């Protein structure tokens, strides 16, 4: 257990928000004319609750999401009067900036934040994003996802993920994933799709089972597509290579054979996937410069400890095989190259295999990796090479792992859009397809009748076709009903021939469906109405209270109650008795139920509190308290709430650039720190930055011409002031004033 504690602390520190700093950057960014100490206290309370996220239940997460949304709404509402005279776009940008600072404080900025900083968002998108940042449902979804990942990351550090425990992800996460699937399935069975025009209904569950959301159909479609690529490559004379790229050793929490990796940098599977994605971006750019064109399939697969690695089946011209291999190898081993000076060489990080046609073609090589990461089809009796577990079991774990960390398991390189392929397969009438011309009829024949991906790709322009050269593209229309934010949502309605503008779009979605509750059958209806004591058809009762009773980190006592919350010490060390209790059985079975080690981990989390903002008593006795109150009143602080905040050790605003805080029994002035607002900087602003730089920008990220002009103006003002002082001094001397 002692060895796990540093790892758990390191993982926690990667997620927690440090609030020991008396001036978090977001505080200075929230400055408005109506900002008070209450705003800062609320933000501090929300931050403390956020730092407890992995311990929270879904109900706790929902309450935290509500309170963050309420806080953002309050901050934006405080800006209404300030921005009343501004035009709509400027007003929307001010609101967006205010909400963005809070969202970034919690590490959850909206996806379009960078576009906003580059002035690439229009008024509609800006307004909609502000609404989303004030939406508690959005916050609940994001906080819930973060809580699951944070908790799983701790399980990885604790040793609950690996070949000696549960492969790919922890047993606790598998249980949660299976329970969520069961609940989703139950909900789907109780819903139907209703045609808004005719009123016809179909089962929602049956509709989903008939789509690629069904693992079996998803696997079949992937195999059809890679088979089509293989057939095209054989006809065109392309060669196939099977590549494997693995992240450096520091990204792996466990060694290949199970023990802890002392070089682990505490990265999560998501961070490792981001590393691999960045490597792939560099590879694609290099290949484009060298005019090396490839197509194929990439599979992201977890190691036994949950660290992702990539398998790629790529097709390339014979004369470019070596260049492709060299480029992939160079980028795959570029980081931490010195760790490859072993007898195994670069194989742990990069491997390439030629396709032996006697053993099977490219599709046969990749088939196993597709199956073992979806449903384990045709792998009965086979075991995973790395973990030694049955492939049927690891397939379920791999799907849960990808769902948790948001990792795209399969991605095709090159080819035409699969969305057009699916729309063509929706149209079953060959006679109707023939009426739209021979080009469309051939594409429809290849996709819907023959299920020949190779023929479909060839008709679309080949596996390396550019989007502008596609023959058939998806046609998007506007959904009948706007979303909850009043925004029109584009949806696929059909397809259109790109190079034949006179042709009308070919509509494949002729009906508008909406989800409704399933109509009860006679048996279920009788069951609902069988008890005369209850009327189950009426609406649910309204809530007992209209306010949120859990806004603060902890419920605060009334004025008449005594509290010692300000003097509660932070536990810095773990009691030896607790460690002994948690480590009673060092050889416990790691394959036991998830409530075993999972309960131990939660217990451990509760005895390792997050680094709270320590609020020491500001006054030792009543006399010292009265002296502080008197000093505050002499400084013009008469508001009882603000005085109460200072006596609790918190800061309140004092003037334009300062705060007041009680430290060591005295009232001190804390200078308000400001930070650079540039997306690549966020460094503290010094006096020169504030004097000469652009608004909320340091000198390095300010307009040089404006900076030079301000410096010149300041120098001119100083020169004028010096001349004035010299004149006044001469006048004083003439008057005999020394």
Q: Which residues are catalytic?
A: 365, 369
- What the block records as the tokens of 71 is 């806080």
Q: Is the separation of the CB atoms in 376 and 395 below 8 Å?
A: yes
- What the block records as the tokens of 477 is 């229309």
How far is Cα 506 from Cα 500, in angstroms, rounded to an integer? Answer: 12
Site of tokens 């926690």: 12
Q: What angle do CA 616, 618, 623 make, to 5 degrees?
A: 145
Q: Is the separation of the CB atoms in 417 and 469 below 8 Å?
A: no
How far is Cα 361 from Cα 351, in angstroms, rounded to an integer? Answer: 18
How far is Cα 160 from Cα 594, in angstroms, rounded to an integer? Answer: 9
CB burial of residue 470 (10 Å; 0-12, 13-18, 19+): middle
How far is Cα 65 from Cα 146, in angstroms, rounded to an integer? Answer: 12
Q: Which residues contact 733 (CB under 8 A, 6 or more apart)?
A: none
Site of tokens 């978090």: 24
Output the CA torsion 89→95→99→100 (10° steps): 40
Alpha helices in 190-268 (DSSP H): 204-209, 215-236
Q: How far apart, in Å, do the first and last CA atoms of the chain sit?
A: 77
Site of tokens 């080690």: 597
Q: Is the separation of the CB atoms in 692 and 667 below 8 Å?
A: no
Q: Which residues contact 732 (CB under 8 A, 6 or more apart)?
A: 738
Q: Is the separation of the CB atoms in 565 and 553 below 8 Å?
A: no
Task: Report the candidate in 172, 398, 425 with the shortest Cα–Cα distance to residue 299.
Answer: 398
Site of tokens 């000093």: 631
How far is Cα 694 from Cα 651, in angstroms, rounded to an integer? Answer: 28
Q: Is the dihedral of CA 420, 422, 427, 431 positive or negative?
A: positive
Please state, in angstroms and as integers, the Cα–Cα distance from residue 139 to each residue in 130, 580, 636, following that order. Answer: 13, 39, 39
CB burial of residue 332 (10 Å; 0-12, 13-18, 19+): buried
**Total Cβ atoms within 10 A of residue 463:** 24
| DSSP conformational letter for 54 | G
Task: Report the candidate in 270, 251, 269, 312 with the shortest Cα–Cα distance to residue 287.
Answer: 312
Between β-strands 666-671 and 658-663, what pairing exists: parallel, antiparallel or unpaired?
antiparallel
Site of tokens 């990439």: 298
Q: Is the separation of the CB atoms in 631 and 624 below 8 Å?
A: no
Q: Is the separation of the CB atoms in 9 and 607 below 8 Å?
A: no
In DSSP terms, 244 is beta-bridged to 311, 351
Q: Is the separation of the CB atoms in 290 and 326 below 8 Å?
A: no
How far is Cα 507 from Cα 512, in angstroms, rounded to an integer? Answer: 12
């Amino acid at each position: 257990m002692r060895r796990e504690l540093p790892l758990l602390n390191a993982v926690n520190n990667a997620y927690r928000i440090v609030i020991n700093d008396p001036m978090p950057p977001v505080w200075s960014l929230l400055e408005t004319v109506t900002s008070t100490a209450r705003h800062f206290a609320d933000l501090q309370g929300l931050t403390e609750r956020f730092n407890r996220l992995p311990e929270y239940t879904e109900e706790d997460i929902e309450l935290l999401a509500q309170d963050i949304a309420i806080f953002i709404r309050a901050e934006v509402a405080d800006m209404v009067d300030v921005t009343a005279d501004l035009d709509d776009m400027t007003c929307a940008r001010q609101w967006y900036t205010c909400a963005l600072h809070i969202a970034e404080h919690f590490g959850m900025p909206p996806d379009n934040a960078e576009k906003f900083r580059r002035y690439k968002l229009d008024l509609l998108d800006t307004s909609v994003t502000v609404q989303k940042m004030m939406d508690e449902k959005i916050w609940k979804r994001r906080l819930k996802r973060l809580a699951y990942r944070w908790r799983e990351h701790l399980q990885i550090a604790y040793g609950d993920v690996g070949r000696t425990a549960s492969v790919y992800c922890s047993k606790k996460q598998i249980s949660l994933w299976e329970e969520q699937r069961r609940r989703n399935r139950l909900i789907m069975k109780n819903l139907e799709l209703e045609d808004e025009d005719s009123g016809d209904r179909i089962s929602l569950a049956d509709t989903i089972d008939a789509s690629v959301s069904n693992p079996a159909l998803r696997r079949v479609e992937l195999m059809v597509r890679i088979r089509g690529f293989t057939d095209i490559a054989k006809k065109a004379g392309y060669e196939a290579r099977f590549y494997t790229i693995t992240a450096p050793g520091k990204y792996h929490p466990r060694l290949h054979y199970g023990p802890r990796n002392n070089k682990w940098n505490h990265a999560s599977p998501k961070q490792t996937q981001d590393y691999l994605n960045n490597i792939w971006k560099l590879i694609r750019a290099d290949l484009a410069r060298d005019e090396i064109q490839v197509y194929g399939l990439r599979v992201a697969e977890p190691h036994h400890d949950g660290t992702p690695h990539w398998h790629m089946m790529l097709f390339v011209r014979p004369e470019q095989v070596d260049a492709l291999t060299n480029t992939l190898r160079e980028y795959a081993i570029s980081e931490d190259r010195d760790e490859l000076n072993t007898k195994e060489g670069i194989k742990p990080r990069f491997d390439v295999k030629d396709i032996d046609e006697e053993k099977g073609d490219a599709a046969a090589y990749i088939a196993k990796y597709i199956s073992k990461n979806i449903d384990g089809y045709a792998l009965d009796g086979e075991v995973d090479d790395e973990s030694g577990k049955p492939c049927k079991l690891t397939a379920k774990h791999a799907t849960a792992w990808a769902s948790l960390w948001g990792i795209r398991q399969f991605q095709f390189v090159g080819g035409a859009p699969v969305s057009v392929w699916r729309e063509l397969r929706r149209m079953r009438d060959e006679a109707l397809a023939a009426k739209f011309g021979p080009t469309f009829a051939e594409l429809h024949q290849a996709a819907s009748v023959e299920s020949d991906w190779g023929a479909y790709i060839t008709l679309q322009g080949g596996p390396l076709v550019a989007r502008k050269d596609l023959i058939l593209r998806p046609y998007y229309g506007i959904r009948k009903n706007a979303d909850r934010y009043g925004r029109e949502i584009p949806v696929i309605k059909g397809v259109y021939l790109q190079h034949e503008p006179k042709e009308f779009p070919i509509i494949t979605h002729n009906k508008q469906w909406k989800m409704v509750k399933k109509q009860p059958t006679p048996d279920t209806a009788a069951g609902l109405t069988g008890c005369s004591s209850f009327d189950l058809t009426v609406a649910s009762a309204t809530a007992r209270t209209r306010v949120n009773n859990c806004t603060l980190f902890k419920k605060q006592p009334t004025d008449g109650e005594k509290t010692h919350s300000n003097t509660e010490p932070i536990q810095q060390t773990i009691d030896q008795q607790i460690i002994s209790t948690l480590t009673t059985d060092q050889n416990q079975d790691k394959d036991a139920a998830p409530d075993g080690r999972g309960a131990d981990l939660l217990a451990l989390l509760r005895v390792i509190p997050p680094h709270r903002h320590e609020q020491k008593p500001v006054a030792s006795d009543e006399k010292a308290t009265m002296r502080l109150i008197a000093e505050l009143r002499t400084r013009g602080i008469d508001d009882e709430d603000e005085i109460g905040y200072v006596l609790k050790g918190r800061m309140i605003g004092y003037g334009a650039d300062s705060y007041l805080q009680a430290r060591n029994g005295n009232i001190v002035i804390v200078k308000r720190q400001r930070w650079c607002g540039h997306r690549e900087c966020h460094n503290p602003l010094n006096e020169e930055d504030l004097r000469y730089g652009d608004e909320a920008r340091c000198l390095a990220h300010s307009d040089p011409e404006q900076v030079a002009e301000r410096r010149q103006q300041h120098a001119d003002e100083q020169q004028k002031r010096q001349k004035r002082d010299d004149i006044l001094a001469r006048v004083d001397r003439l008057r005999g004033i020394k």
